[in-house]
């Protein structure tokens, strides 16, 4: 990473809060780490389809260093010595028929996970309530490649725009799709399919939908932060300085819609194999335990 990129204002579009992988972190360290890395806006969620997708904000608010401004359902502003940092709410939701995840950013309501919605219906709901909808690794689900039916559906959704009100705002290039995942996916598909990010780039180029780099890992502490968050979008100047509440979400939507290399630039780097194994896999275990606990309490 060159010096210009290091000092540029950045936005992390999708990462998970520490508890999603059994990690414990000091709120002061985490908040300060975001600031020192010049992360001017972050959208950070719990695990997939979580009923508690604002937990990261709860962690941040425990920091005593920052002055906090409550933006309601949109998120929070954390301010230190005149420097502003925005954290917007995010939820990760899975389609029912087509198993493709959608990131819901800055939505005014939580998307219900118990409805049997397909991806375009989720996107429509996100947009209806003012959120930004980003497709997450549309051509793969972990080690499993997308089916032929999924690919046809993605063509209808993104290129043919069969559902005009449900076109995603962006498609992600995911830093978790490391060589190990690609190799396993290739072997499981009889060496017919491997790199999901390459297909996502082609879909973005063909459809004209912006491509955005995301880290998709959980944050831990300030020492590890710069190593874990390997991917982000960045700007020549901070576009959110005069924004608040709903205007933050609209400003972010605007810079994404303008497109890569004009509204924003992508910085992309795959996470290390060690980080993938220790963070992603532990997160899978944590998610299963917490979801079982949540639904057990819900049934009582």
Task: Classify 89 as helix, strand or coil.
Answer: coil
Q: Give residue 35's pLDDT.
A: 72
- In tens, the pLDDT along 170-213 reads 999 998 889 988 998 888 888 877 789 999 999 999 999 999 99
Contact 54, 110 (CB under 8 A): no
Task: Classify 27 as helix, strand or coil.
Answer: helix
Of 54 and 86, more confident = 86
- In tens, the pLDDT along 108-137 reads 887 876 667 889 999 999 999 889 999 999
Q: Give residue 30's pLDDT.
A: 67
Of 49 and 223, more confident = 49
Please determine, for residue 260, whether its predicted confidence score (pLDDT) is greater than 80. Answer: yes
Q: Give residue 50's pLDDT.
A: 52
Least confident of 53-57, 143-147, 281-285: 53-57
Longest dimension (CA), the chain: 56
> What percent of the chain is predicted at pLDDT more than 70?
74
Where is mean pLDDT largest: 58-67, 139-148, 256-265?
A: 256-265
**In angstroms, rounded to a whole number, what is the distance separating the alpha carbons of residues 248 and 243?**
5
Q: Which domains does the chain have, with CATH numbers?
A: 3-299 (3.20.20.140)
- Centroid of chain to Cα 91: 8
- What is the Cβ-side half-sphere exposure of residue 116, based on CA atoms within 13 angstroms? 1
Q: Give residue 235's pLDDT.
A: 92
| Average pLDDT for the chain | 79
Please determine, for residue 162, whether its predicted confidence score (pLDDT) is greater than 90. Answer: yes
CA distances (Å), 11 to each of 77, 155, 216, 288, 299, in order?
14, 28, 13, 29, 38
**In angstroms, rounded to a whole number, what is the distance separating the alpha carbons of residues 187 and 194?**
8
Please determine, for residue 49, whether its predicted confidence score (pLDDT) is greater than 70. Answer: no
């Amino acid at each position: 990473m060159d010096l210009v990129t290091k000092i540029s204002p950045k936005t992390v579009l999708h990462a998970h809060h520490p508890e999603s992988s059994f990690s414990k972190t000091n709120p002061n360290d985490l908040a300060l780490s975001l600031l020192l890395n010049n992360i001017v806006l972050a959208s950070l969620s719990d695990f997939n389809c979580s009923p508690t997708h604002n937990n990261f904000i709860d962690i941040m608010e425990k920091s005593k260093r920052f002055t906090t401004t409550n933006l309601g359902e949109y998120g929070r502003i954390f301010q230190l010595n005149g420097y502003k940092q925005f954290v917007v709410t995010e939820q990760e939701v899975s389609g029912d028929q087509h198993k493709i995840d959608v990131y819901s950013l800055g939505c005014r309501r939580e998307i219900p996970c118990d409805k049997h919605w397909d991806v375009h219906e989720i996107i429509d709901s996100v947009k209806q309530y003012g959120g930004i909808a980003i497709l997450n690794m549309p051509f793969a689900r972990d080690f499993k490649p997308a089916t032929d039916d999924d690919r046809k559906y993605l063509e209808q959704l993104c290129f043919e725009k069969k559902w005009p009100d449900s076109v995603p705002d962006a498609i992600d290039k995911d830093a978790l799709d490391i060589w190990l995942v690609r190799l396993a996916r290739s072997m499981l598909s009889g060496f017919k399919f491997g790199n999901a990010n390459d297909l996502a780039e082609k879909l973005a180029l063909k459809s004209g939908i912006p491509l955005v780099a995301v880290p998709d890992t959980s944050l831990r502490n300030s020492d590890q932060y710069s190593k874990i968050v390997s991917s982000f979008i960045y700007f020549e100047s901070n576009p959110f300085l005069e924004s608040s509440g709903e205007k933050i979400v609209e400003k972010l939507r605007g810079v994404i819609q303008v497109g890569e290399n004009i509204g924003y630039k992508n910085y992309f780097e795959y996470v290390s194999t060690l980080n993938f194994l220790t963070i992603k896999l532990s997160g899978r275990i944590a998610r299963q335990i917490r979801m079982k606990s949540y639904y057990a309490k819900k049934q009582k």
